[in-house]
Amino acid sequence: MQLLDLTLDSSAENLALDEALLDTAENLEASAPAEVLRLWEPRESFVVAGNSSRLKDEVNLRACHARRIPVLRRASGGATILAGPGCLMYAVVLGYRDRSHLRDISQAHRFVLDTVAAALSRKIACPSGSEKSDDPQPPVPRGQQPAIRRAGISDLVLGEPPLKFSGNSLRCKRDHFLYHGTVLYDFSLDEIEALLNIPSRQPAYRQARSHQNFLTNLPLRGASVRQALIDAFNAHDSRSDWPRELTAKLAERKYARPEWNERL
């Protein structure tokens, strides 16, 4: 799989690039390499609503406006998130060829999240001395490592009671699907509490907990999270080209427009 490690200048462009990668994969010849893992990290905070999210229900719009926090909308489903520095974003475009079972959405969630969970678990469990120097603390001894697992429809959680550090969503097309999400590792949870409302749609495991009591940062540094995702998808073939024109068109005509972002 190819790796595209690229953060663009604006939030609209970054959301547009995920969709452009999916559209490009759909339009490539069958023999051309289409699968790609993209990694990026916002330079500033911004809110991202799901395709069908109702802003007034999920976002504290007054606080966002007061703090000049942009509120955008993605093309995939799921609930509203807050992204920014300390939140690594990933997007993986996968084909259905040889994976026809992933047309079942529940199987797609299971496949990607189990792959990511296993890779992050290996990073946390890495024996002392083999983890890179960027890590914040020595590896947790075996037997004391918090379990990473799937929870709800598309979350990754840590420990018990389960604390969420990753939310994910997908968009499906004829021959490929886009699966993208977040990994919190050094993010301001106070900011989430201030800018996002408690969602009306909640997974049962949340048990009506506040954002502060429900969310956590993964105990790894960003470079280690990046490497875990690269290893998870065997994305060691670096990619330099990306769909610039389509990304710019989508950003201008869709993701930067109030007609799209504020439609619900």
CATH code: domain of residue 107:
3.30.930.10
Q: Are strands 36-40 and 2-5 parallel, antiparallel or unpaired?
A: parallel
CA dist 16 to 9, 129, 242, Å? 12, 40, 12
pTM for the predicted model, two decimal places? 0.89
Q: Which position has the token pair 């993605």?
A: 74
Contacts of 261 (CB under 8 A, 6+ apart): 49, 71, 72, 73, 255
Cα separation of 90 and 96, whole Å?
A: 19
What does the pLDDT read at residue 264? 84
What are the residues facing 67 on neighbouring strands? none
Choose among 73, 72, 3, 64: nearest CA to 230: 3
Write the pLDDT tens digit of every residue in 80-95.
999 999 999 999 999 9
pLDDT of residue 28: 79
Tokens of 56: 């007034």
> What three-state secondary structure class fits 202?
coil
In the chain, the number of structural domains is: 1
254 phi, psi to nearest 5 deg = -135, -70
In the predicted model, residues of the chain with pLDDT beneath 50 are 127-143
* Residue 188 structural domain: 2-261
Other CB atoms closer than 10 Å to residue 107's CB: what's the count? 13
Task: Please count the CA atoms within 13 angstroms of the CA of 124 that sit on its side-chain side.
Answer: 22
